[in-house]
Amino acid sequence: MNASGAKIAITGCGSFTPTQVITNDDLGRLVDTSDEWIRTRTGISHRHLASPDTSLSDISAQAAQEAIAMAGLTPKDIDLIILATSTPDDLFGSAAKVQQLLGAYNAVAFDLTAACSGFVFALITAAQFIRTGVYQRVVVIGADILSRWIDWSDRNTCVLFGDGAGAVVCQANLHEDRLLGFDMYSDGRQHHSLNLSYGGQEKTLKDEITISQGTYHPITMNGREVYRFAVAKVPEVIERALFHANISRDDIDWLILHQANQRIMCAVAQRLKIPSEKVIANLEEYGNTSAASIPIALDEAVRDGKIKTGDVIASSGFGAGLTWGAVIFRWGI
C-alpha cells in the first residue's frame, strides 16, 4: 500500500552487535548438535551474544546514534522513536529509556512488538506518521536479546538465535518519495508455532480471589511449520508490496530478508526469480537476531558500499504471531 501525503526518505542507518561470539562447535559442547548440521540446515556459524551487563536499551541507543549521525542530524532533531523489540529491559517498554540515553528530548518514544517482523512493522508505522505530516524525523530501531529467553539445552532453538540492534532514520523529504510500497499481515491461527509465553502459578490472595504469578518461558518453535509458512508467504507479500509500489521484481537491486535461515532466503529468492547476487545475507555471522536482523544487514551493506543511493531494496520480515510484512524503498535521499 502507498497513500498520498508527505514524501519519505530513509537517510541513515546504524547497528550494534555484541563482541562475545559463540560458534557451532561451542554449541556442540552444550547440546547434541554439530557444525555440519547447523551449517547445512541453517547457514549459521556464529552468533554474537550480549553480556550480562549489556542492556537492550544500550544496544538500541548505540545503533540509533549511528543512524542519526549518518542522517546528518542530532538526537534533538528527532520527533519520534519506535523501538521494535520482543525483549525489552522492562515490560513497560524500553523506548523511553533509549530516548534518555540518546538525549532525544524532543521525541516521543514507544515500543512495538511483532517478533521478527518488528522492524518492518515499525518502519511502516513510522511512515504513516510522516505521510500524515505529524512527524518529520523518526528513528526506527529493531533490537533483540533473545539469548536471555532461549533454553540453552534445546538444540531445536539454541543454535538459531543471536543478539543485536539496528536502526534507521526516516525523514519527510521535499523532493522524491522513496518509500515505494508496503504490505503487512498477521494470522493468529498459527500463534502456537512460535512462542515466548508467560506461564504462571496460581496464587490465592484471599478467599475466592486467585491470580497468576510467574515469568516468561523460553522460546518454543515448530521449525517445520515456520519454515513452510515463510517460504509460502514471504514471496507473496513481496509481490503485493511491489504491486503497491508499481514496480516489477526486475527493478529490485537488493533483497534483504529477515535472516532466519539461508535455505528460506534461497527459496524466496528463487520463487521471486531474484538472482542470488542480489540477496544480502549475514546470518552466517550473527544468526537470527529477530527484529534487528534486517537493519543490521542493511547497515553493513550500506557501510560496505554495496548499497548505493537510489538503489531499490525489497525487504521482508516474518515470524512469531505469526506476522509477516514487506516494504520496498529506495535507499538514501
Q: What are the residue numbers of the active site?
A: 116, 258, 288
| Residue 125, SS3 per DSSP | helix
Q: Could you tell me which stretch among 89-97, 172-180, 197-205, 218-226 binds ligand ACO (CB under 6 A)?
A: 218-226
Phi, psi of 172 (to 5 degrees): -65, 135
Q: What is the C-alpha separation between 4 and 184, in angstroms, rounded?
A: 18
Q: Could you tell me which stretch among 35-43, 130-138, 205-213, 272-280 binds ligand ACO (CB under 6 A)?
A: 35-43
Choose which of 64, 67, 194, 242 interacts with ligand ACO (CB under 6 A). 194
Residues from 141 through 170 that contact ligand ACO (CB under 6 A): 155-156, 159
Q: Which is nearer to ligand ACO, 159 or 307 (CB)?
A: 159
Contact 177, 8 (CB under 8 A): yes
Min CB(2)–ligand ACO separation in Å: 26
Q: What is the C-alpha separation between 244 and 221, in angstroms, rounded?
A: 32
* Amino acid occupying residue 108: V
Q: Could you tell me which stretch among 70-78, 162-170, 203-211, 226-234 binds ligand ACO (CB under 6 A)?
A: 226-234
Choose which of 49, 145, 165, 230 interacts with ligand ACO (CB under 6 A). 230
Q: What is the C-alpha separation between 53 and 51, in angstroms, rounded?
A: 6
Choose which of 110, 148, 223, 247 interacts with ligand ACO (CB under 6 A). 223
Q: Is 319 in the site for ligand ACO (CB under 6 A)?
A: yes
Provide the strand spans (E) within the chain.
8-16, 20-23, 46-49, 80-84, 108-112, 137-145, 163-172, 179-186, 194-195, 198-206, 209-216, 220-221, 254-257, 312-319, 323-330
Write out the residues near ligand ACO by the rule CB under 6 A.
33, 37-38, 41-42, 115-116, 155-156, 159, 194, 223-224, 226-227, 230, 260-261, 264, 288, 290, 319-320
